Structure 1
Amino acid sequence: MKPGIEWRAPRADAEAAQFAADLHAALARTPKAISPKYFYDEAGSRLFEQICELPEYYPTHTELALLQRHARDMAAQMGHRVQLVEYGAGALRKVRLLLGAMPRDSVQFVPVDISGPHLLGACDGLAADMPGLDIQPLVADFTRPHSLPPCPAGARRVGFFPGSSIGNFTPAEADAFLRLAAGELAGGGLLIGIDLVKEASVLHAAYNDTAGVTAAFNLNVLERARRELGAEFPDDGFEHLAFYNPAYRRIEMHLRATRPLSLQLDGQHYDFHEGETLHTEHSHKYTVAGFQAMAARAGFEPGTVWTDANGWFALLWLRSPSVP
């Protein structure tokens, strides 16, 4: 980060109020469901980084291998002088491979993430390892309106959205994000990771690891509600549930009530019957052609595609034409 750059944390009370409002709405609807963005407090972000190291969790290993092999080609697609915006930046592990293939004085890096402390810690590490790199962190929910720093003179804005995170969106949410990105990346493009359709057994193992890290990550949503909002529920009241739903081509993650119970939030009681779930995440799987068609409807033009030998994962370059 440049000397003198000051980051101002969002108001904690405003964040807690939004979390509480969204959780009340999630518990009141049928079926119960909440946005996966609430996984990513500081504890959840650490747990997700542990998930990425698990042998069963193929997306991270596969995508890293693609970046190691093709980063120069990917950087060449982006151009010589760029403002690189990483959506949902997290630990900044993958982008290092991309940044390493770019001349350091030709790129301004704008990592965007909802978890401020986690993002700023990662930026400190990146700045130490890549001195001279212009880093402009933005703590924001990138799916909602946000203001990016002005694009440097002579540069074009390009996006990086790795990790198949787009799969966590509903089709309508994915379309909305792609339209937003196509607008703010006009004249540049987007490098995006997608998880491809594959055998259900591979998917089941990835989301039900034997070490129980994914279970802890899932359960952290309610633990966060307990820590931050004072929610009350039995310690052993919920269990992790993840399965592949072939009708929607997606993995679903739920928190399942182990018995009839009540969850209390702000004096309101929400009853669960045994086996009832709170839907916390889904992860859609795509075909390359199907995703390119969805991106084209949002305003992108298909470009180069990089895939692994198993056909499990893909990184796609999508061009975003300048606004006429």
Structure 2
Amino acid sequence: MNELAAETARSSEFARLAVEGLSTSPKRAEAKFFYDEEGSRLFDRICELEEYYPTRTETAILRARAPELAEWVPEGAALVELGSGSSTKTRILLDALPGLGAYVPLDISAEHMQASARALAAHYPALDIHPVAADFTRAIELPGDLRAMPKLLFFPGSTIGNFTPPEAVELLRRLRGIDNVAGFVLGVDLRKDEDVLVRAYDDAEGVTAAFNKNLLRRMNTELGADFDLDRFGHEARWNEACSRIEMHLVSTCDQSVRVAGHRIDFARGESIHTESSHKYSVDGFREMAATAGWSADETWVDDRGLFSVHVLRP
């Protein structure tokens, strides 16, 4: 599929899933559509916020423990990063694993990923870098010359928490089927005090609110929608029963909106559930990974018990 055809297919999928999600009760949206260029920029800002502990905590764990990966990652392996974004944490692994044969950033936001890949190429000129614009929730097709290489999968940021547990198991199982996977390093956020969690997803500066509302702006720009962003408020909610933080966009009045030619009615107080971030115990995640065909060789947790990094083998 050429680039224009791929972009057309993504736009069509965005329209279909947006209308489908907004026509259900309760209303919902697909979190993967946060990440256009502006959404990716806003998320990078979120990662720098004082309230948002996951990024700095995971980064500290990786800096302390990544050199241990060199003991079992095969020489010449390809590092495949799922949802690479700005690839900030990637440099930690690239520095710790000088014997890598290639780096493959894979992300749905092509422009942001290409910019990050260019920056990495300037810093690591001897490393073969192969950016792939793709949705990792679908079948992943790597360039032909990479398929036979041993692979280390990298999935930082606790993005696995955006999936329901059954969806996460299915994703882990499908990733288990990629040819020649030697291991899998992924970050998993842990259960903790509700106040800490809510503040992490509703920061004082309003960056997370802007990130959430960017989804509506994107619908206006790409799908011909007519959302008035001032008529929706950002809200972070802890769902104890499901062990997850939920992000919502709450309608502040009764209103009707057009999206891709469809009328969507909102009652005052009705929300769009835009994202979930499930929180796990260490044992709970290890059991889920085992269900999907992975064994946990290592689990690294920070001193405060906020975040975990798991090293899995098929």
| Alignment TM-score > 0.5, same fold | yes
Task: Give the secondary-structure state (helix, strand or coil) at the position aligned to 1:236.
Answer: helix
2:213 and 2:229 in contact (8 A); partners too = no
Query: Which residue number corresponds to residue 40 of structure 1?
Result: 35
Matched residue type, 1:20: A
- Say if 2:164 is the partner of 1:170: yes
Query: Which residue number corresponds to residue 89 of structure 1?
Result: 84
Bigger mean CA deviation after superposition, 234-243 or 56-65: 234-243
Distance 2:42 2:117 in 1: 19
Distance 1:154 1:76 in 2: 21
Query: Which residue number corresponds to residue 50 of structure 2?
Result: 55
Query: Which residue number corresponds to residue 304 of structure 1?
Result: 298
Task: Give the secondary-structure state (helix, strand or coil) at the position aligned to 1:218.
Answer: helix
Query: Which residue number corresponds to residue 26 of structure 1?
Result: 21
* Structure 1 position 154, deviation (Å): 7.8
1:80-159 equivalent positions in 2, closer than 5 A: 80-104=75-99, 106-150=100-144, 155-159=149-153
* Structure 1 position 34, deviation (Å): 1.3
* CA 218–188 in structure 1, closer or farther in 2 if over 3 Å, else same: same
Query: Which residue number corresponds to residue 61 of structure 2?
Result: 66
Task: Give the secondary-structure state (helix, strand or coil) at the position aligned to 2:171.
Answer: helix
- Say if 2:283 is the partner of 1:272: no
Distance 1:80 1:10 in 2: 37
2:148 and 2:180 in contact (8 A); partners too = no
Distance 1:233 1:31 in 2: 18
* Structure 1 position 135, deviation (Å): 0.6
* CA 21–154 in structure 1, closer or farther in 2 if over 3 Å, else same: closer
Query: Which residue number corresponds to residue 257 of structure 1?
Result: 251
RMSD in angstroms over aligned alpha carbons? 1.6
* CA 187–16 in structure 1, closer or farther in 2 if over 3 Å, else same: closer
1:168-317 equivalent positions in 2, closer than 5 A: 168-184=162-178, 186-317=180-311
1:81 and 1:154 in contact (8 A); partners too = no
1:151 and 1:157 in contact (8 A); partners too = no
Task: Give the secondary-structure state (helix, strand or coil) at the position aligned to 2:205.
Answer: coil
Distance 1:35 1:152 in 2: 30
* Structure 1 position 74, deviation (Å): 2.6
Unaligned runs of 5+ residues in structure 1 are 1-6
What do the CA deviations read for 1:199-227 (whole angstroms, capped 9, x no partner)?
11110110110000000000001100001
Distance 2:51 2:258 in 1: 35
* Structure 1 position 155, deviation (Å): 4.0
Task: Give the secondary-structure state (helix, strand or coil) at the position aligned to 1:188.
Answer: strand
Distance 1:187 1:12 in 2: 29
2:30 and 2:275 in contact (8 A); partners too = yes
What is the TM-score normalised by the length of structure 2? 0.96
Task: Give the secondary-structure state (helix, strand or coil) at the position aligned to 2:81.
Answer: strand
1:158 and 1:185 in contact (8 A); partners too = no
* Structure 1 position 11, deviation (Å): 3.7
Query: Which residue number corresponds to residue 3 of structure 1?
Result: none
* Structure 1 position 186, deviation (Å): 4.7
1:9 and 1:116 in contact (8 A); partners too = no
Task: Give the secondary-structure state (helix, strand or coil) at the position aligned to 2:256.
Answer: strand
Distance 2:162 2:79 in 1: 22
Moved over 6 A (4+): none
2:147 and 2:179 in contact (8 A); partners too = no
Matched residue type, 2:303: A
Bigger mean CA deviation after superposition, 296-305 or 226-235: 226-235
* Structure 1 position 187, deviation (Å): 4.6
1:113 and 1:139 in contact (8 A); partners too = yes
Matched residue type, 2:150: R
Matched residue type, 1:97: I
2:217 and 2:227 in contact (8 A); partners too = no
2:81 and 2:104 in contact (8 A); partners too = yes
